[in-house]
Structure 1
Amino acid sequence: MIAGRAPSWRWGALIAAGMVASVLPVPGQLVFAAGAVAVLGLPHGASDLAVVPGPRRVSFLLAYGLVILAVLGLWLMAPPIALVGFLVLSAVHFAIDGRDVDLASDRNAGWGLGALLVAGPALLHRQALSGLFASVVQPEAATMLAGAMQVVAIVALVPVIRALMADRPITGSSRVEVIVGLAATLILPPLVGFACGFVLLHARGQTLERQRDLGCASLRDYGHRIAPVLLGAVMVLAGVVLLFTRIALDGTAMLFACIAALAVPHMLVTPLWRRERYGNAVLAG
């Protein structure tokens, strides 16, 4: 993840909107989280095809599609396994994505931050998080999962606090970014807190990095470059929503499934098909 400036007024606006959403009922918080992840988070993954060398794109798209189908099948047949696997994979992805271009970062704090982006909401909102998980797994399992995540959050917080006190970089994010993003993740309700933390501490930096990878002069240029793939991603999400609506899946469970359907191939397939992080070999084709 590339280093960025402290959060601008736009990110302050995101946090403010999150605070407003926090006083809404859970369906309103669900709408906020879905909107924030789709509008501000999806663009960084929509450039996956653009950073894969041309000769490898056909096999890349095939693998991407097969993983999407596998993820959806797992959510239909074994939701508990799908949920736990997705949470663990996400924490690992948040911890290591971009580390190879940011060797000065505190590695332990990087792992801690990755874990906190996923488990952090359980620290102060374990019961609420358990209620959300109950839409996917049995209530007893949901309670156990939320409790385990609370323990993970406590442990993960230690290296992050140490790094902040020593003013050591954490995966390329500025000290203010980490403080603001973590505060939102820990304090705001789970759905809202995750959305704000994800956008500020992961999606933002990765979008700027992809913009640089592709040689786009501005985010507008980057948006034009990825527009066809972004449209395809929206169509995939619409298909997932229609599929799970037919089986009367809970809205929260549907959000988890939609995010997983696009996030898992982004986390697993793209790194395998991308030969190098920078250079003409990636951008050619």
Structure 2
Amino acid sequence: MYLLPLLTTVLFSTALAHTWNEQLSVIESGNFVGSNGYPRGYVSRTIPGFYDDMMTYQLPPPKDTSRTRVNDSDFLCAPTQRTSNQTQSFPRLSAWPGAHVAMKYLENGHVTLPQNTPGKPLGGGTIFVFGTSQPIENELLVDVLEWTTDGTGGDRRGKLIAAQNFDDGRCYQINAGNISLTRQQEFPDPVEGQPGSVHEQWCETDVAIPSDVSINSTYTVYWVWQWPTAPGTLGALEGKDEYYTTCSDIDILAGLIQSTTPNPLPQQDPQKSAVPHYQNRSAYRSNPL
């Protein structure tokens, strides 16, 4: 008789969790190939004492309750991700010019339990991915938001390479919400070798590495989730900016390089195929400004 109240509490609390780009995978002919790559300073969920704030980076900072807008004091990358650094056993991705890459993340209820976060945009908000061959340590969010698809925006050090809805149309958290239950049936994601098993389906942002990026170089990608609260929402009468970012580096090589890194890791999504429309996804909102 205590199951329903407990379930309601769990559903509400998980929807309040936040999200980061957790892994990167190359896509070939619709399937993930090679070994996963990981963001700078990656912290695995399997380490003892893991908690979300080890990877969550929110702007404006949640402790700064006086601000509702981002400004030029907001560094784009978390302190642990402002320089190129990889955690041991979690290497950066290897890809090539023109390759398609899936940047994967958990939806944490933002897709399947939208009723828990009123005032948020359709599609769970927008993921913008910016790429540069000239990253700087103290990159500012407001500067990068000015980069454009043709590379002529802002300081011209980089460009906008993807704008897609947070909801990829397939992903789901395992919960009792109608959206999750429907997607569990439509898009089953069993663990390999365990037919009938149920596993959370991760979301993905799909990007193409620009064809003009040099081989034997490093290309930096900034995953920026724009998830504002609309004006008039309780607690945000004037509206409120809310961004989450993850910063990653990709080794640009002439082709796919295999390694001994498991793909996927045990705690990660067993899905082997990208969403069907990975090459031509669009967003409700395509301009970050």
TM > 0.5 fold call:
no
Q: Which has the higher contact order (CA 8 A, sep 6+)?
A: 1
TM-score (norm 2): 0.26
TM-score scaled by structure 1? 0.27
Q: Which has the higher strand share?
A: 2
